[in-house]
Amino acid sequence: LHLEYLLAPNLATEKEDGQDVVWGLTQPQKSLSPRYFYDDRGSQLFEQICKLPEYYPTRTEAWILQNYATQIAQMTGICELVELGSGSSSKTRLLLDAYRGLGYPLRYVPIDVSAGILKASAKQLLADYPTLQVYGLVSTYELALQKLMPTPLPSRTICFLGSTLGNFNQAQCDRFFAQVTAALQPGDYFLLGIDLQKPKDILEAAYNDSQGVTAEFNRNMLRHLNWRFGGNFDPNLFEHRAFYNASEAQIEMHLSVKRSHSVHLKALDLTVQFREGETLLTEISRKFDREQMQKYLAKQGLKLRQTWSDPNNWFGLMLAQV
């Protein structure tokens, strides 16, 4: 079995994690990093979200891959596929199928902060693709990008699907691109999925599903923090809120406080007061414009080779090269 795990986060990250929680919970607008959504339960809930009728991004991106993965594989040629935030790796299968169809060797490096889902999906991939080599990294993107080994294949393609880029603010996005381009050699590729701007009602429905899975996903972050930092959040005291902020072109997810109370996080030595009606921002999900993204990629030293989209132009898949 070609399967290796690098177990992270290490101590340094744990400490840093805590600091961002302390910072976020002591600002006038309280906020937490969306990466705290993804404990094992959160990753499962996210998989459920991806199948919801209202949540169009996953289905739309999969449609694009079903139709164009072979073109992508032909453009990149033989390469190692690195996937940031691999989750269940289900969309990656469409890429692997295309590379396999062209008779290319398959080498896949999934990176995810959630060990459970990464291990399970890597094992299943090994069973389904007998010639596949998998090197899974349980890690944050930042650490993993620093730890990538030189690839034995002619080139590398870093995939960042699902519009997870939209969960970064501009400063985080700039930092992320610096890390990605540092992990790429001239001639290597970056495959980026972005959710595009569209009418508000479609966007808001996608983040307010009728089954309440997104609400549960949002509140699960508090359970994750309880576990990780010895906290006593009561998720029942928080209500899910998601709306489109048109001036920022982003969906915002908040947890709205039902009644005033305080929360203690033992491992962080932190007590936080929550006022009735105030909100805790748990996620932004930016919606992009194709032309602006093309300009931005160019500024990062990446040449756009092609953009694929669906018939509604709801989602974009961009292949850029260093």
Residues contributing to the site for ligand AVI (CB under 6 A):
49, 57, 162-164, 166-167, 207, 214, 283, 285
- Closer CB to ligand AVI, residue 86 or residue 214? 214
- Closer CB to ligand AVI, residue 140 or residue 285? 285
Cα gap 235→219, rounded to integer Å? 6
Cα gap 234→257, rounded to integer Å? 10
Q: Tokens at residue 168, please? A: 């970064």
- Closer CB to ligand AVI, residue 45 or residue 79? 45
Nearest distance from residue 224's CB to ligand AVI, in Å?
A: 14
Cα gap 286→81, rounded to integer Å? 25
Nearest distance from residue 241's CB to ligand AVI, in Å?
A: 12
- Burial letters 230-248, b for 16+ CB under 10 A, else e: ebebeeebbebbbebeeee
SS3 239: strand
Angle, helices 213-229 vs 40-50, to 10°: value is 170
> In degrees rounded to 5, what are phi and psi of residue 314?
-90, -25
- Closer CB to ligand AVI, residue 14 or residue 47? 47
Nearest distance from residue 102's CB to ligand AVI, in Å?
A: 29
Nearest distance from residue 128's CB to ligand AVI, in Å?
A: 24
Nearest distance from residue 166's CB to ligand AVI, in Å?
A: 5
Cα gap 288→306, rounded to integer Å? 16
Angle, helices 92-101 vs 115-128, to 10°: value is 30
Pairing mode of beta strands 156-160, 80-84: parallel
- Closer CB to ligand AVI, residue 24 or residue 162? 162
Nearest distance from residue 163's CB to ligand AVI, in Å?
A: 5
- Closer CB to ligand AVI, residue 139 or residue 163? 163
- Closer CB to ligand AVI, residue 24 or residue 166? 166
- Closer CB to ligand AVI, residue 151 or residue 167? 167
Residue with CB nearest ligand AVI? Answer: 285
Nearest distance from residue 313's CB to ligand AVI, in Å?
A: 17
Nearest distance from residue 70's CB to ligand AVI, in Å?
A: 25
Angle, helices 11-25 vs 213-229, to 10°: value is 120
Nearest distance from residue 31's CB to ligand AVI, in Å?
A: 15
- Burial letters 80-111, b for 16+ CB under 10 A, else e: bbbbbbbbbbebbbbbbbbbbeeebebbbbbb
CA 301 remoteness from chain centre: 22
- Closer CB to ligand AVI, residue 76 or residue 164? 164
**What ranges make up the beta strands (E) of 177-298?**
189-195, 238-245, 250-257, 261-265, 270-274, 279-286
